[in-house]
Amino acid sequence: MIVLVIVLGIAVVVLLAMLYSTNQRLSYLRGRNRQLRNQLRDLEFIEDQVAQLTALGEVTYNALMVVDQSHIIIYMNGAARALFQSSSANSRRHATSVMAATRNHEFDNIIYDLLRDGQETGQSDLEEQITIRGCAYRLHARYVQVDRRPYAVVAMEDVSELQRLGRARRDMVANISHELKTPITSIRLQVDTLLRGAYQKPKRVKSHLKLVADNTDLLQQMVQ
């Protein structure tokens, strides 16, 4: 009988220990389940934010790129993929180095300088103008840290058309200035002649005024 009681006691102790362990395990699993649900909500929120930012990046005309400290491109928008003729639909799935994507040493050096200065000072901004595939681009780059990881965020604006328009404007102003000199000089010459006494001779006055009128008409045509 005593042995039976002892055996039963041991069995009860074992069962109680198993029950306690099971309860502990269940408590842990419940807590873990809550953590996983919270993490899942956080992940869904982050994915939603990434989707929104990606959509914004895709609709902008400027080329956008995010590069990590290993010079691996972790994001390129459509404009950047078109600029660098990247076949990757999503650079986050297909890791590509800056040099492999751009084939541009100057661009790669800018990223290097930005990340180096950013890690040394905690912040860094660069604005450069570089030539990519024969076109002029104004490059804006900024150093950022996310979860203590350094990144370079780069925006590229095509300024080739602005430069072309600037050159055209300068050429137009130079041409107009040159064309204006001839009629203005002629008008001034006729006026000076009249002021020196030619106005006293009616025949000469008419001739000088005719030249003034002709050059005035020429100036009017230029203005129109």
CATH number of 219's domain: 1.10.287.130
* Domain coverage including residue 179: 163-223
Mean pLDDT by 10 residues, the chain (224 residues): 47 59 75 74 60 58 84 86 66 69 87 87 83 86 83 86 84 84 85 74 76 84 82
Question: What pTM was computed for the model?
Answer: 0.53
Total domains, the chain: 3
71 and 151 inside one domain: yes
Q: How far apart are CA 51 and CA 224, in angstroms?
A: 53
Q: Pick from 134, 128, 156: which is nearest to 67 by CA?
A: 156
Quote the pLDDT of residue 90.
46
154 and 65 inside one domain: yes
Quote the pLDDT of residue 91.
42
Give the 3-state secondary structure of 86-119. Answer: CCCCCCCCCCEEHHHHHCCHHHHHHHHHHHHHHH
